[in-house]
Amino acid sequence: MKLAGKTALVTGGSRGIGRACVWALAKEGAKVAFTYNSNVEAAESLVKELELDQHEAVAIQANAADGAKAVELVDSLIEKWEKLDILVNNAGIIRDGLLMQMSEENWLDVINTNLNSIYYYCHAAIRSMISARSGRIINISSVAGRYGNPGQTNYAATKGGIDGFTRCLAYEVGRRGITVNSIAPGFIATDMTEAIRNAAEKEITKQIAVRRLGQPEDIANAVAFLASDDAAYITGQVLTIDGGLTLGSGM
């Protein structure tokens, strides 16, 4: 129970990597709130599962790209729990397509959800963490931010931006007892990657050194570690968790 007495917020926490992060933090003793965009059933189901396992959890419907909602949400959690110790920025979407065919709407949707949300939630939470001289911020990035993928100029731009944001903020708040790190997953078996898996899972697996797709728990376990006191001297880092997908010549 390395996070006993801690409070946490996970954006995009009702499914996939976010859901696994919620569980990992709760199992280590944290009280966990998570946001979801539209799937009420999935969010309510997760809360019930956590409560049955004797964990305190709160689900909050919020569009990650809504800056005003981020402030309202964080303030309400600090009022409820008197602090916010851990922030996991996980919310993200894909709108893949070649740039010459990409609409401005698909560009902006991805930028607003994946990158602007990092600013909104960090900006809302950081003042409280600075006052407490303690905090853990973990941003979920992607190997695409470093290596790129055709058809993902919008997505890769946001993930590369997250990594740069992480390094800069780590410099700004390190002396206040706050760590800021990024995790860059490789190919993880989630709803978001289902279409690609259905089309080419065997070929993708051959490119991964450990010869299997990643599971959401592979990322969540690292999130729980970075949120703990065991990781107090780790900040400004981008931790790649891809099973060796990007070894050698890259993706």
**Within 10 Å of residue 101's Cβ, how many Cβ atoms?**
8
Q: What beta strand segments (E) does 42-82 contain? A: 57-61
The dihedral region occupied by 127, where left means phi > 0, alpha psi between -120 and 50, and beta the remainder, is alpha
Query: Of 161, 155, 138, 151, which Cα lies nearest the Cα of 17?
Result: 138
The C-alpha angle 216, 222, 224, rounded to 5 degrees, equals 100
Catalytic residue among 119, 147, 155, 171: 155
* Cα–Cα dist 174/48, whole Å: 36
Could you tell me how far CA 201 lies from the centroid of its own chain?
24
H or E segment at 183? strand 178-185
Q: Is the dihedral of CA 226, 227, 228, 233 positive or negative?
A: positive
Question: Is 36 part of the annotated catalytic residue set?
Answer: no
* Cα–Cα dist 251/243, whole Å: 12
* Cα–Cα dist 110/65, whole Å: 9
Supply the residues annotated as catalytic. Answer: 155
